[in-house]
Structure 1
Amino acid sequence: MALSAAHWVYLGGVLLILGVMIARRNVLVPALLATVGTAWTMTGDPIVAVQSIFNATLTAAAELFNIFLIIATVTALLGALRAMHADQRMVTPFQQVMRGGWSSWGVLIVVTFAISLFFWPTPAVPLIGAILVPAAIRAGLPAMGAAMAIAVAGQGMALSSDYVIGVAPGLSAAAAGTDPDRVADVAFVLSLVTGITALVIMSVLLARHMRAPSDANLEEWESGVVAGARPSTGLLRRLRRRITGAAPDAEPLVPAEAEQRIAVGSTVGGPAGGADVPPPGGPGGTGGPGGAVSTDGPGGPVPGDGPAPLDARTERLSRFFAAAVPIAFGLMIVYLVLGELGVVPPVQGGSGAALVGGLAVVLVVLVCVTLDGPRGALTSVGEHMTDGLVFAFRAMGVVLPIAGFFFLGSADFAPSILGLPEEATAPDLLVDLVVAGQGLIPTSPLIVGFGVLAVGLLSGLDGSGFSGLPLTGSLAGALAPAAGVDPATLAAIGQMGSIWSGGGVLIAWSSLLVVAGVTRVPAIELARRCFLPVMAGLVLSTVVAVLLF
């Protein structure tokens, strides 16, 4: 088929966005310019082109606002739990089983994965770093081992599947035009394959570094005495100097950027990437109103003097909700699984996301009513929900204009973005480009799968794991028919590449800075140690996806 000028402008916009991602810059401005250029070329009207910026963002917001609400409600719940210190109680009991290096390794993986599934790793990492990491270090786990466990289990396995909250599958499915539940199911399996493969390789590498339990381990760690990084040469050394600003022969234990951001109580590079997102629940940060976390020392949050003492009633409520909230979400997961097995009526479509958000709101109300009383809850529930919405828009708001550009390339959304009548039609730009170049695209499902994975890895190079999902989802929807692969499977593969890369595992200028900060290890070295194990896991998971799904 003959391609119009709009097709070439749209293709140029896609390549521009990819180039800016590779250069580790924010892709918002290129996405806006590409939207204007494509709309102007399609209509020949500069006024419509300018209007398309607003309309494309509005269209993306309408399609994705349910995701924002889920983020807001879950964040509000975490803030309500923090007010009574129940968030800390949910992880404190695990300290009792951290008797050695390997048990600490396992506990960090399981707890980080579980908490990050429900609350995302952005607020979970400082909490785990303040409570569990010191116990793990004392038990003999190397600081680098603790950092790798948290990064792979949280920013990797939990965030790449995002199975409970469903933000990532929702973004991927919306761009690919497929079922978000199907994307979530495939992504969950692929995240486990990737994560388990990476953790097995890491455990082999860590075996000779385990130490006997001792208070001296903790004293050395708190004093900043960590194992030095192995010598690096060539490109890696130059990259380290560029990121950290260190002299050629010296590398700071923790990048200054991480120390600065953690010291002010903010989190780095959440799902939207790059943005400093204050933790929900107010200035108390992860320590709650009483300031359970101190930022003394070069490595970020360490246990401080502890939170202000709770009265007996609040103490009882804290214990109750620390158990009740995980149980409630656990029962919800059991119900969803039983629905998939046909034992109970299945939850379909967007109802699963609605169940998560609705349950979170119910729990927020219950926590606030029991803690503040019915009258006080009228204020506190509203405050927590407001904090949640602010967090959601600060974390995810940048995704909307980027998604709007890719929606402009879809015939389903282009008419409303361009202000055309309902009966009007618009070209399906991305699909047309794929069809036109179909002879150059290998039809092998495996090659297509690795191609989408590569695009996902590149799209995460800007430190944003989620902003590349509209691109990988759109490519998945366009390439799936020619390759004979389920579009949900390709979307999940792209999601793996984008989030494992930019979500905070493979590159040091992402939220990996927070992990490096709370564990007091060099961010560049942490990213380097994670690279080969994670890449091996991604290769294996892509093969599994193509062969099994």
Structure 2
Amino acid sequence: MGLTAAHWVYLAGVVLIVGVTIARKNVIVPALVATAVTAWVMTGSPIRGIQAIFDASLTAASELFNIFLIIAMVTALLGVLRAMKADQRMVTPFRTVMRGGWSAFVVLAVVGYGISLFFWPTPAVPLIGAILVPAAIRAGLPAMGAAMAIAIAGQGMALSSDYVMQVAPGLSAKAAGTTGSAVADAALVLSLITGVVALVITAVLLRRHLKQPSAVHLEQWEAGVVAELTPARRWLRRVKVTARQEPAEEEEKVAVGVTAGPPGDDRPRTRGGGGHHGNDGPPAFPEDPGSPAIEIDSPRVVRLSKVFAAVVPLAFLLMIVYMALGKFTNLVPSIEGGSAAALVGGLAAVIVVVAAMALDGPKKALTSVGGHVTDGLVFAFRAMGVVLPIAGFFFLGNADFAGKILGYEDGTPAPGLLVDLVTAAARHIPHSGVIVCFGMLVIGMACGLEGSGFSGLPLTGSLAGALGPTVGVSPSALAAVGQMGSIWAGGGVLVAWSSLLVVAGVTRVPVIDLARKCFFPVVAGLVASTIFAALVL
């Protein structure tokens, strides 16, 4: 089937969104406009185009909500640990390994790669975020550097080869008409080249941003996002401070749920409820009248802090052991993919409840747990909600979601605009080994734009099987190149509306900024690995 007007409008929308992203501008408005116009042209109804704005975002929200929920649970866990200062104690053992920013960067990359290779990144990232990221921040590694290390090593290097589970190589090989082991071996080599090059470039870019180890970094990282004031509240605070001539520091203490002690006592005290809105102001759930504030330096809280600083890492370690037993033995059921992510989120929620009951008591825990979970949900949507309209536009180009967005309830098949455009472009690739390899890389990256690194593998595999023999390039190597492009882009490194959301959530950095920062190192690594594939494999 030839390209229609809808294809060209959709392509214009893709170019517009990519261009605005590169220009470091907000892409919500272009995404909304492109969604409406594309749906209008596809259906011929301007009303349907307006409805598609809502339906596309709703579809994206339903598909990505599991990621939002994981972010919320991990954020709630960090909140309850922070209330008893167990977070500070939990990262203490890692000081011997993470002595500075460089060692923290290496540890995050190595651990992220190892865990993601066996369990896939979505369940692996929250594990790292709950335990290792706070230690890395304390060691002096910037939050963006931690996010880039995890994304490149786990979401990119581990997932692009998928050497243990071999789901991705199996899809590529089946379409290319070759063996899965051949594609897996080629993908492993190319993923290592891409990842190492990207990590080295990232390390060079980070060298000026590393800091000396300090607990202040961790405190600022935790409080700076969860208690960030909205512009309106910040303006009101300045007005009140000016009127009353009171120091702004007192207002900031209230904003993060910390109250000053009696005169002459500088120790901070946290409120018993533990929960706050996450944006500003007093706790979301007020204390019972007359209830005393919890002293975080009291013997009871210190004991709880020590206990949960050991319990939390141990619980996640036992979970990893359980998952490993399911993977490599028949002793327990195998838990992979979405089931593993659900186990991580559920375990985090259980620990939140137990820790809150131990700290606040069973009665007050009913409100404090709600406060921590609310904080987590608010943070997840405030930090990640911006990607929903963008994801909705790219879902509109996917035949699996377009029918739902356009309201096709009678089973009418919806066109796959993105796949059609990629297939049409593939016909114009010159028959040269190097050019075909780079063409396959670009096609794979284009397929990954919809935020799913695996959905484009049948297409890249089919093209590899057809083009490889005609240009003297191994179909296995060519399929691996396409796999690199698709998964590094859509699997969660270059596309913000993918599982990169999890990385941004646990490290508390803007997801669009993270994708933009990763672009140059990752593309440089992909170019290097593609040249290697064209000349050696």
- Compute the displacement of 1:474 (Å): 6.5
* Residue number in structure 2 paired with 1:336: 323
Structure 2 counterpart of 1:482, one-letter code: L
Deviation per CA, 1:506-543: give whole Å up to 9, x if none.
xxxx98899xxxxxxxxxxxx8xx99977665556678
Secondary structure in 1 matching 2:415: coil
Equivalent position of 2:348 in the other structure: 360
1:312 to 279, 282, 299: 299
Is the 1:159–1:499 contact (alpha carbons within 8 Å) kept by the matching residues of 2?
A: no
Distance in 1 of aligned mates of 2:152 and 2:55: 29
- Residue in 2 that maps onto 1:36: 36
Q: Partner letter of residue 491 of structure 1?
A: S
Aligned residues: 411
Judge conservation of contact 1:78–1:87 (CA < 8 Å) in 2. Answer: yes
Deviation at 1:42, TM superposition (A): 0.8
Q: Which residue of structure 1 aligns with residue 464 of structure 2?
A: 483
Distance verdict in 2 for CA 1:191–1:289, change over 3 Å: farther
Aligned pair in 2 of structure 1 residues 33, 476: CA closer, same or farther (>3 Å)?
A: farther
Cα shift at 1:203: 8.6
The residue correspondences of 1:80-159 to structure 2 (distance < 5 A) are 80-95=80-95, 105-107=102-104, 109-110=106-107, 117-118=125-126, 128-129=136-137, 131-133=138-140, 152=145, 154-159=146-151
Which letter does structure 2 place at the counterpart of 1:427? P
Matched letter for residue 378 of structure 1: L
Shift of 1:348: 3.6
Following superposition, the deviation at residue 418 of structure 1 comes to: 1.1
Rounded to whole Å, the distance in 2 between the matches of 1:497 and 1:62 is: 21
Is contact 1:67-1:167 (8 Å) kept?
no
Instruction: Identify which of 490, 494, 499 aligns with 1:498.
Output: 494
> Are the equivalent residues in 1 in contact too, given 2:91–2:131 (CA < 8 A)?
no
| 2:451 is the counterpart of 1:470 | yes
1:321 aligns to what? 308
- Pair 1:511–1:190, CA change in 2 (3 A): farther
Structure 1 residues 128 and 404: CA distance shift in structure 2, 3 A: same
In 2, Cα distance between the equivalents of 1:289 and 1:193?
49
Query: Of residues 225, 228, 237 in structure 2, which corresponds to 1:266?
Result: 225
1:65-464 paired onto structure 2 within 5 Å: 65-95=65-95, 105-107=102-104, 109-110=106-107, 117-118=125-126, 128-129=136-137, 131-133=138-140, 152=145, 154-160=146-152, 265-266=224-225, 283=256, 310-343=297-330, 344-441=332-429, 446-448=437-439, 450-451=441-442
- CA distance in 1 between partners of 2:535 and 2:360 (Å): 54
CA distance in 2, matches of 1:531, 1:132: 26
Paired AA for residue 393 in structure 2? F
Q: Percent identity?
A: 49
Contact 1:434 1:479 in 2 (8 A): no
Deviation at 1:63, TM superposition (A): 1.3
Query: Which amino acid in structure 1 is aligned with residue 487 of structure 2?
Result: A
Contact 1:415-1:422 at 8 Å conserved across structures: no
Matched to 2:442, the amino acid is G
8 Å contact from structure 1 (residues 71, 392) kept in 2: yes
Moved more, 425-434 or 87-96: 87-96
- CA offsets, 1:326-360, max 9 Å, x none? 12112222322332324432114421111111111
Contact 1:187 1:496 in 2 (8 A): no
Instruction: Letter of the 2:70 partner, please give it.
Output: I
Change (3 A) 1:75 1:532: closer
Looking at structure 2, the residues matched to 201 and 42 of structure 1 have their Cα atoms a distance apart, in angstroms, of 43
Q: Structure 1: which 5+ runs fail to align? A: 134-145, 170-177, 210-216, 223-260, 270-280, 292-306, 460-467, 505-509, 515-526
- Structure-1 separation of matches of 2:147 and 2:111: 12
Letter in 1 for 2:103: G
Q: Is the 8 A contact 2:127 2:344 kept in 1?
A: no
Deviation at 1:450, TM superposition (A): 3.8
* Distance of aligned partners of 1:533 and 1:393 in 2 relative to their CA distance in 1, 3 Å threshold: closer
How far did 1:315 drift?
0.9
Q: 1:204 to 1:427 in 2, by over 3 A?
A: closer
Asked if the contact 1:36/1:53 (under 8 Å) is kept, the reply is yes
In structure 2, the partner of 1:51 is 51
Query: Is the CA contact 1:410–1:428 (under 8 Å) kept in the aligned structure 2?
Result: yes
What is the CA–CA distance in structure 2 between the aligned matches of 1:416 and 1:513, rounded to whole Å? 29
Alignment gaps of 5+ in structure 2: 113-123, 162-170, 173-179, 181-185, 215-219, 229-253, 259-266, 271-293, 466-478, 502-506, 512-516
Task: Give the match for residue 471 of structure 2.
Answer: none
Q: Measure how far apart 1:32 and its partner are.
A: 0.9
**For the residues of structure 1 that align with 2:160 and 2:379, how far apart are their CA atoms?**
16
Residue matched to 2:231: none
Larger radius of gyration: 2
Amino acid at match of 2:355: V
Encode CA deviations 1:74-121: one digit per residue, 9 max, x unaligned. 11111111111111112223445677x7xx742564269769943777
Q: 1:158 to 1:350 in 2, by over 3 A?
A: same
SS in 2 for 1:24: coil
Partner amino acid for 2:451?
Answer: P
Q: Which moved more, 1:328-337 or 1:198-207?
A: 198-207
Amino acid across the alignment from 1:319: K
Tell me how far 1:451 sits from its aligned partner: 2.4
Shift of 1:309: 5.0
Give me the TM-score of the superposition, normalised by structure 1: 0.60
